[in-house]
Structure 1
């Protein structure tokens, strides 16, 4: 697997509906190699939606730039991140456990704290040369 890793998004719509919802996803036992991202959730600024009950378990990274990526600041118009997490897509009930391997940055998180909750990170054993950045994540995650 290369490029964007295991990625949800770009996600967002005018309402929380079938087209803007990812629910009950389980990603387990994968190896992600030579990729910009390991696991990623990316939501679009100004839009609504729902990501819930997503579990990443026992996945391995090899030569990945960013291990865990969660962004609430993607602009379709700009084709990139804005740095301002204004997406209204709720990201809740996300579990990352048993993530191992190697990456340059452990975290690349720019989340909207008003719409994220109930994240659990455990058993993360990624050898990373940098911690990276983490802004707006729920208090339940110690990064």
Structure 2
């Protein structure tokens, strides 16, 4: 619907957009972007209707907005840093996502991103980091804090095996995911999937994941599903619901300094 390209000191406020055929707002190669009090609606089954997409854009604030659509409420692409998302009501949707990153063996970097004081409801995902096999670069310095989940299928998800077909092969290179913090995330999840899903690269593990005050209960029934981890390392600062015993403590011994594609 609306695209900003190579723009600085942009302010978008008080706008309502409905049923864009693709992204509702897109910001490419921009800096100093302030988005506040916007309202976006699209059908829950409409593909590629991201609410706000940013790429190669820095110093972004997204505040006090309501988004419901058929894809990500907010999607953060490569080259983004210093992003603050606060008081956003998201859903139905695919949640708030960093990525997808590293497609077609590309180098991708994203850092210093905060999502806080928000609500995600009736969505496929909650807060998500998604990367393709074969990419390089890094995602680091990410905080998800004080977020309420209401009937979300995957409330907390890192997916380093993101693929849109069934024939994606495993690769030895990957975007390095590190310094990710989850704090005060509470609510209910759809019982079809694990409420916490940390699937990290076989060759380059996720490191320094810190988790505290996470309480996720099934929206239906009484059985709490197990969390899932694969090659994920960090620190469990409090007990969680469900228990996150699969998060490995400390740092992996196998990862060498030259394995990691820093940004």
TM-score normalised by length of structure 1: 0.84
Distance in 2 between the 1:8 and 1:84 partners? Answer: 21
The residue aligned with 1:110 is: 199
Distance in 1 between the 2:154 and 2:101 partners? Answer: 19
Counterpart selection for 1:7 from 74, 81, 97: 97
Bigger proportion of residues as strand: 1
Distance in 2 between the 1:120 and 1:87 partners? Answer: 24
Pairwise CA distance, 1:46: 0.6
| Larger RCO (CA within 8 A; separation ≥ 6) | 1
For structure 1, the residue ranges without an aligned partner over 5 or more in a row are: none
For structure 2, the residue ranges without an aligned partner over 5 or more in a row are: 1-89, 219-223, 237-243, 246-263
Q: Secondary structure at the match of 1:131?
A: coil
Q: Secondary structure at the match of 1:22?
A: strand
Aligned pairs for 1:1-143 (under 5 A) are: 1-2=90-91, 3-12=93-102, 14=105, 16=107, 20-76=108-164, 78=165, 88-103=174-189, 104=191, 105-112=194-201, 114-128=204-218, 129-141=224-236, 142-143=244-245
The CA RMSD measured in Å over matched residues stands at 2.4
Distance in 2 between the 1:130 and 1:48 partners? Answer: 32
Distance in 1 between the 2:119 and 2:173 partners? Answer: 29
Off by >6 Å, runs of 4+ in structure 1: none
The count of residues paired between Structure 1 and Structure 2 equals 138
Pairwise CA distance, 1:131: 2.0
Contact 2:117–2:146 (CA under 8 A) maintained in structure 1? yes
Q: Secondary structure at the match of 1:112?
A: coil
Contact 1:11–1:49 (CA under 8 A) maintained in structure 2? no
Q: Please identify the structure whose Cα radius of gyration is greater.
A: 2
Indicate the larger mover: 119-128 or 131-140.
Answer: 131-140
